[in-house]
Structure 1
Amino acid sequence: MLRGLRNAGQSLVGKVIIAIFFGLLILSFAIWGIGDIFRTMPPSTVAHVGKTDISVEAMRTAYNNELQRLGRQFRTVISPEQARAFGIDQQVLSNLVNEAIMTEEAKKLGLSVSDQLVASSILEDPALRGADGQFNRALFDQMLRNASMSEAGFVREQRNAMTRIHLAEAIAGGLTVPNAAREALNRYTSERRAASYFVLTPAMAGEVPAPTNDQLQSFFNERRGAFQAPEYRALSALALDAAAAAKPESVSDADARQRYEQEKAKFGTPERRTIQQIAFPSQEEAEAAFNKIKEGATFEAVAEERNISPQDLELGTFTKSEMLDPAVADAAFSIAEGTTSGPVAGRFGPVLVRVTKIEPESVRPFEDVAGDIRKEIALANAKTQIEQIHDAIEDLRASARPLADIAKDKGLTLVQIPAIDNKGLDKSGNAVALTDRDAVVKAAFASDIGVDNEPLRTSDGGYVWYDVTGIEPSREKSLDEVRDQVANLWREDEIAKRLADKARGLTERLDKGEAIETVAQEAGAPVKNAADLARATAKDDLSADAVTRIFSVPVGKAGNTATGVDTRAVFKVASATVPPLVTTTPEAQRLETQLRNGMGDDLINEYIAQIRKDLGVTINQQALRQATGGEL
């Protein structure tokens, strides 16, 4: 057929016929709905921003880079589920869209950056300079590999970024901060208040009788969702790690003794020697000096002849392994205390060495440390055998052997957990002891009864096999199950209501002009004074929220606020002071910079929002999920 079409296409009539044929074919696609392929976004594109496309690969790279950055910042691994819960995917996409909007607008305005300026920005980047302070090509190539970018792609992104910066500076650069804004921010951050207050305690709420059944039932019904029993799962788990697989009893006495001799220093204090040294410019002079010592001259006399002070004579006290020169170490540790070695060909020339003091080694006998050595050897052996044991267990799993039988066959411990919730707690609220508990719990709650689960790799190189053996669904608890808890909560709520009502009445009396000392005395509470209160900052027995409430009340007026779970403060604002704004101080300049940055960000965001509306932005949710590892 294709050959016939090619032959027909050689003539004018044939070309017309072929055109009609393909026209009808395309029309039939449209009729049957295939025309959607011409209207929908390509699967490789996450978003259209005007004429700019954000590809799946660009989104994936930016998303992974952000996860790695956050992981380094918080020293943890952020899972895809956590990333979606925190909205990281949407934040990254929003940033890419904003960059595309600014790039589109820069093109529209004809903004550009010269090749020379782009090259200079790369060459002068401190992150790309080596130890000599110059541009380092190797660092540049490594950065490209880490970012999964080509050199041309990086240069293009650098040019676009610089263009966006120039546009942003044109929009928000050189802003003048109004004096009124500086004064307002100075007042907000620098204002200090003083207040007199007294605290109402639970005892001041009066006698609270036990709730009736109707009161308790009504209270429970209003808060039934707070008394939810979580879903529990029963698990069987088999952990394989080096400690579990190690068999110290299988280590022979000969192997343990060999390790003991090799690592004797670990089991005590090695021998240390205090050493003196005289260096010579030639082997002949060293031999001549040694002959003098053999004939009766002292080591110190030889040193004095060579103008070596007693301080310079001392080399120090060392173990043999601590000495830098192996030849000198061998000589020093081969002679008796108080004797001098013959000429030694040291690393820095010939020397004579004398030992002035020997501190003998103190090593625990083999019998005392044999058990620890066997455990250490067995642990090292087990680490090399883990993969073999893993494969053998997987073979047994493939033959439908229960975990209990496998554990018994391999000499491992099977952990059976009757109930665990998705936080790793049992029904008493205690943490369940389980290897890599968080990972196992997460995997178990994503599995089901009877599912043949893949083993989990642990952080120390081991494995955990697990089976879900039972599921107890989440449910609402009955009042009888939580009666004591509900009764305590009811009592706390009743006390809080009584204290709030009492505080409201006392506040009204203060606002009518009564002295706080009189009102506090009748309430049975001492008056306290708090000075130099800073906004949203706790002080004494006033919580941060209580201080914030004090700042919301005019000077001379009264108010009340909770200061804890079961206490309430009644206060009267005595004064409010604001230091004058001195524009030349570092603090004032910091405030001005803060305001200018905030105003600039607002301007740029408004600008981007308008351009986004004009350009139009289309998001492909399927491609977004593909880029971020979400389910399709």
Structure 2
Amino acid sequence: MLTALRRLASTWVAKLLFIVLIASFGVWGIGDTIRNFGRDNAVARVGGAPIEIEEAQAAIRREMQRLSRQLGAQFENDPRIRRAVAQQAIEQLVLDRVLRQEANRLGIAVPDSAVRDFIFSIQGFRGMTGQFDRAVFENFLRSNDLTEAGFLALVRADLARQQLAVAVRAGAAAPETLARPLLQWQQEQRGAAIVSLPLSAAPEPPAPEEAQLRRFHENNPDRFSTPEYREASVAVLSADRISREVEISDADLAAAYEARRSQYETPERRRLAQVLVQDEDKAKEIAASWSGGADFAAVTQATEAAGGQALELGLLDRAGLPFPQLAEAAFAAPDGGVTAPVKSDFGWHVLKVEAIEPGAARPLAEVRDQLRQDLQSEKAADLAFERANQVEDALAGGATLAEVAQRFNLGFATLRTDANGMDPEGKAVELPVIEAARAPLLRAVFTTERGAAPRLSETEAGFVAVDVKEVTPPALRPFESVEPQVREAFIAEAKRRSQEERAAGLLAAVKGGKSLAEAAQEAGLGIREIGAITREQRGDPAVPPELLAPLFELKLKEPTMAQTREGYAVAQLLEVTKPEVDAAAIGRIRGEVAQAMAGDLEIEYMAALRAQADVRVNPRLVDSLAQP
């Protein structure tokens, strides 16, 4: 027997069986490694460089904290918002990587002195003396979950990005051949004849017969049916409710105020215009001319003749200028003043201060109550997740909604309601949420299946559990019980059809060759002639807003018809006036268009860089990061 076994073991079949057996034990021992083979643990990769989970988590956490501080009690930490924040934070990390790679490729360097000067210029890092305060800076780092090295790296990358952006934006220019027709288009005026046909002026239709009303009742069941009603119990765990349990000390308030000082300070802003040329002597000539009273149109012409560019920069604070030397010059000049030429990597800049908005700071005493509410909301949001887990465990253990509501201090109600929150008597039902959260809670009630075991789920109203006891479907009300409403709706619909037919008749008559005035006179209707209508017409009751856009699409003498809030209106275009534009207006529109073009160029540039950078995002990990 043993001899036969030894002979069998030496065959190729036995050897193959041993190999399979060894491989199966090997896979069993390293199953996790095998299953994860080929999976990428980076949230995204840019040109092969990973964005790790920890970095993405920190970015998402910072963005959530920023939104919570900014919105306070209005901030709802629901799944949709978390997913949107996660996607936005990761996309920002991707773009930062893309721009860093491009800056490295171009050899753009940001010296330590530029990083230091930029940080020292941030108003939010200044203490009571007006100078950079190390304690305030460290509070900022702690509250935003940042290390000093990490923050310096972010600033350095942002300054490099600004250099790239300024270079791209500097190529934007709006020629007069574009600005002039655009300005004329904006300021174009039109005159029209308008006939209004309000429903209130419609002739009274013949009294309807009962058979007509009954058919109208049957053909419009949505108008005359009872809504669906649901009888349900609801329990709500919201940050607003928990915040009432949170105590905030004066020390907590003082520390939070110092960490968030920048939120309560409005930096000084200045409306600036800029000239950028490559030659210092030309810059000095332009600065002297500008200081001497030359208008922006003349300065623009001189700048373009020198091969440069003139732009309206708009309202900016110090941080809005890409170079510290530009900020120092611009914010040292008086209102209406022109700076001496300032050198940067892009050439020679000359800036004019067109207006000044002074900065302001709100003291702790002024913001104490709001800050206390914000801190309570933030701490309550953290407590809500812990308590939600406890509530979910209790429900899974068989506790009723009423029991968990009492045990964990949840909002609780038993109700019978329609989807709009009204009971069968037409009164608003009481819900255990604030007014802004009524609609999300009602959606939860009407999307829960009848008889389903109550489970806590996160909604815009907070954590909600619903137990639907009964569903009463819609039913057509008996004709006798709604006859007055049916009669009223029937007459209103008859009047609407009547005015629509009259408006269509006027439109057909004008298209047939008559003027609107002639057609209106034949129909016994009044007419108004209105001139100087612009595209930006606002609040003029003589021109129904529904007619405004169609009027600017018509050719001369063409008619149009529109349904308005009051009924119907018919109009005929009578005149088109092209305005005369002056040099100053053209200069302003050129600046506006150039800024818009610069923004578009920057967006397209970044999109092109992203497309070339081999960006790969791991959707599985993005989804997991969006979870609480």
Give the TM-score, by structure 2 length.
0.57
Residue-by-residue CA offset, 1:450-481 (whole Å, 9 max, x unaligned): 8678899xx9xxxx999855444585655869
Instruction: Report how far residue 401 of structure 1 moved.
Output: 9.0
Residue-by-residue CA offset, 1:241-270 (whole Å, 9 max, x unaligned): 99xxxxxxxxxxxxxxxxxxxxxxxxxxxx
* Structure-2 change in CA distance of 1:500 and 1:91 (3 Å): farther
Instruction: Give 1:599's aligned amino acid.
Output: M
Q: 3-state SS of the aligned residue for 2:43?
A: strand
The aligned residue for residue 40 of structure 2 is 41
The aligned residue for residue 205 of structure 2 is 207
Instruction: Report how far residue 551 of structure 1 moved.
Output: 1.9
Tell me the distance in 1 between the aligned counterparts of 2:414 and 2:455.
17
Instruction: Give 1:78's aligned amino acid.
Output: E
Which residues in structure 2 correspond to 1:608-619 (within 5 Å)?
608-619=606-617
* Structure-2 change in CA distance of 1:426 and 1:83 (3 Å): farther
Residue-by-residue CA offset, 1:102-160 (whole Å, 9 max, x unaligned): 22222233322122212221112223223333222122112212221101001111111
Instruction: Give 1:516's aligned amino acid.
Output: L
* Structure-2 change in CA distance of 1:404 and 1:30 (3 Å): closer
1:83 aligns with 2:66: no
Q: What is the aligned counterpart of 1:591 among 567, 589, 592?
A: 589
Q: 3-state SS of the aligned residue for 1:576?
A: strand
Give the TM-score, by structure 1 length.
0.56
1:106 aligns with 2:103: yes
Instruction: Give 1:503's aligned amino acid.
Output: A
Instruction: Tell me if the contact between 1:80 and 1:628 (Cα under 8 Å) persists in the aligned partners.
Output: no
Instruction: Tell me if the contact between 1:425 and 1:432 (Cα under 8 Å) persists in the aligned partners.
Output: yes
Tell me the distance in 1 between the aligned counterparts of 2:57 and 2:493.
50
1:126 aligns with 2:126: no
Could you say what the CA RMSD is over the residues aligned between the two structures, in angstroms? 5.1
The aligned residue for residue 564 of structure 2 is 563
The aligned residue for residue 628 of structure 1 is 626
Instruction: Give 1:602's aligned amino acid.
Output: D
Tell me the distance in 2 between the aligned counterparts of 1:94 and 1:465.
29
Which residues in structure 2 correspond to 1:344-493 (within 5 Å)?
403=402, 417-421=414-418, 424-427=421-424, 430-437=427-434, 442=441, 445=445, 470-473=468-471
Residue-by-residue CA offset, 1:46-77 (whole Å, 9 max, x unaligned): 22222343344444444444455555655511
The aligned residue for residue 553 of structure 2 is 552
Q: 3-state SS of the aligned residue for 1:39?
A: coil
Tell me the distance in 2 between the aligned counterparts of 1:522 and 1:186.
40
The aligned residue for residue 232 of structure 1 is 230
The aligned residue for residue 134 of structure 2 is 137
Tell me the distance in 2 between the aligned counterparts of 1:530 and 1:416.
58
Residue-by-residue CA offset, 1:261-285 (whole Å, 9 max, x unaligned): xxxxxxxxxxxxxxxxxxxxxxxxx
Instruction: Give 1:605's aligned amino acid.
Output: I
* Structure-2 change in CA distance of 1:598 and 1:400 (3 Å): closer
Which residues in structure 2 correspond to 1:26-425 (within 5 Å)?
35=34, 37-42=36-41, 45-70=42-67, 76-83=74-81, 87-202=84-199, 203-204=201-202, 207=205, 229=227, 232-235=230-233, 403=402, 417-421=414-418, 424-425=421-422
Instruction: Give 2:545's aligned amino acid.
Output: A
Aligned-residue sequence identity (percent) comes to: 23
Instruction: Tell me if the contact between 2:226 and 2:477 (Cα under 8 Å) persists in the aligned partners.
Output: no
Residue-by-residue CA offset, 1:404-438 (whole Å, 9 max, x unaligned): 9999xxxx9x9864313565443456432244356
Instruction: Tell me if the contact between 1:57 and 1:627 (Cα under 8 Å) persists in the aligned partners.
Output: no
Residue-by-residue CA offset, 1:568-590 (whole Å, 9 max, x unaligned): 111122333344333435xx555
Instruction: Report how far residue 101 of structure 1 moved.
Output: 2.2
Q: 3-state SS of the aligned residue for 1:138?
A: helix
Tell me the distance in 1 between the aligned counterparts of 2:57 and 2:489.
49
Tell me the distance in 2 between the aligned counterparts of 1:436 and 1:91.
30
Instruction: Give 2:526's aligned amino acid.
Output: P
The aligned residue for residue 577 of structure 2 is 577
Tell me the distance in 2 between the aligned counterparts of 1:465 and 1:97.
33
Instruction: Report how far residue 549 of structure 1 moved.
Output: 2.0
Instruction: Tell me if the contact between 1:535 and 1:547 (Cα under 8 Å) persists in the aligned partners.
Output: yes
Structure ID, larger Rg: 1
The aligned residue for residue 368 of structure 2 is none
* Structure-2 change in CA distance of 1:574 and 1:155 (3 Å): same
Q: 3-state SS of the aligned residue for 2:507?
A: helix
Instruction: Give 1:50's aligned amino acid.
Output: G
Tell me the distance in 2 between the aligned counterparts of 1:123 and 1:405.
53
Instruction: Tell me if the contact between 2:173 and 2:597 (Cα under 8 Å) persists in the aligned partners.
Output: no
* Structure-2 change in CA distance of 1:611 and 1:406 (3 Å): closer
Q: 3-state SS of the aligned residue for 2:196?
A: strand
Instruction: Report how far residue 499 of structure 1 moved.
Output: 3.6
Instruction: Report how far residue 174 of structure 1 moved.
Output: 3.7
Instruction: Give 1:624's aligned amino acid.
Output: V
Residue-by-residue CA offset, 1:516-535 (whole Å, 9 max, x unaligned): 33322333332123333332
The aligned residue for residue 9 of structure 2 is none
The aligned residue for residue 387 of structure 1 is none
Tell me the distance in 2 between the aligned counterparts of 1:174 and 1:402.
64
Structure 2: runs of 5+ lacking an equivalent: 1-18, 243-386
Instruction: Report how far residue 219 of structure 1 moved.
Output: 6.0
Instruction: Report how far residue 495 of structure 1 moved.
Output: 5.0
* Structure-2 change in CA distance of 1:29 and 1:60 (3 Å): same
Q: 3-state SS of the aligned residue for 1:624?
A: helix
Tell me the distance in 1 between the aligned counterparts of 2:482 and 2:453.
38
Tell me the distance in 2 between the aligned counterparts of 1:73 and 1:489.
47
Residue-by-residue CA offset, 1:146-191 (whole Å, 9 max, x unaligned): 2211010011111111111212222232411122332343234323
Tell me the distance in 2 between the aligned counterparts of 1:405 and 1:67.
29
* Structure-2 change in CA distance of 1:207 and 1:190 (3 Å): same
Instruction: Tell me if the contact between 2:507 and 2:561 (Cα under 8 Å) persists in the aligned partners.
Output: yes
* Structure-2 change in CA distance of 1:153 and 1:401 (3 Å): closer
Tell me the distance in 2 between the aligned counterparts of 1:405 and 1:606.
54
Structure 1: runs of 5+ lacking an equivalent: 1-19, 243-389
Tell me the distance in 1 between the aligned counterparts of 2:29 and 2:554.
68
* Structure-2 change in CA distance of 1:84 and 1:145 (3 Å): closer
The aligned residue for residue 338 of structure 1 is none
Tell me the distance in 1 between the aligned counterparts of 2:88 and 2:403.
47
Tell me the distance in 1 between the aligned counterparts of 2:427 and 2:198.
33
Instruction: Tell me if the contact between 2:79 and 2:626 (Cα under 8 Å) persists in the aligned partners.
Output: no
